[in-house]
Amino acid sequence: MTRKKHIPEPDYTLDAKGNPIPKRQRIAFVPVCSGNSFGLGVAEENEPGYYPQEQHGLFPTYEAASVRAEELNGKLGLTPDEAAHIVCTSMRGKRKGGK
């Protein structure tokens, strides 16, 4: 996946309990490598790349970051398969409408 150079506002907001609420199209949290540790990114469905989410901190292992990503995806109402689908569409780089 390609890290996006420009980091716009994330496409989600947080509710009072810190749970993510999507603003527009579907998103999924994904574990990403960050130097010698791991962090989280947000992949948007059918949009290439991901947005780093530094506010969620760093994790010592990929597994720890993956667990946190799954927790946040669950709070978005996504099953693991739905989250994986969203992430995969961001890797292909195909935009809606085939453009």
The answer as to whether 35 is a domain residue is yes
- Which of the four pLDDT bands, split at 50, 70 and 90, describes residue 99? very low
| Phi-psi label, residue 98: left if phi above 0, alpha if psi -120 to 50, beta otherwise | left
Q: How many domains does the chain divide into?
A: 1
Task: Calculate Rg over the CA atoms of the chain.
Answer: 13
The answer as to whether 7 is a domain residue is no
- Which of the four pLDDT bands, split at 50, 70 and 90, describes residue 35? confident
> Does the pLDDT value for residue 38 go beyond 90?
yes
Q: Specify the higher pLDDT residue, 13 or 87.
A: 87
> Does the pLDDT value for residue 30 go beyond 90?
yes
Q: Give the whole-angstrom CA distance, residue 90 versus residue 30.
A: 11
Mean pLDDT (the chain, rounded): 81
The answer as to whether 37 is a domain residue is yes
> Does the pLDDT value for residue 15 go beyond 70?
no
Domain enclosing residue 22, as ranges: 12-98
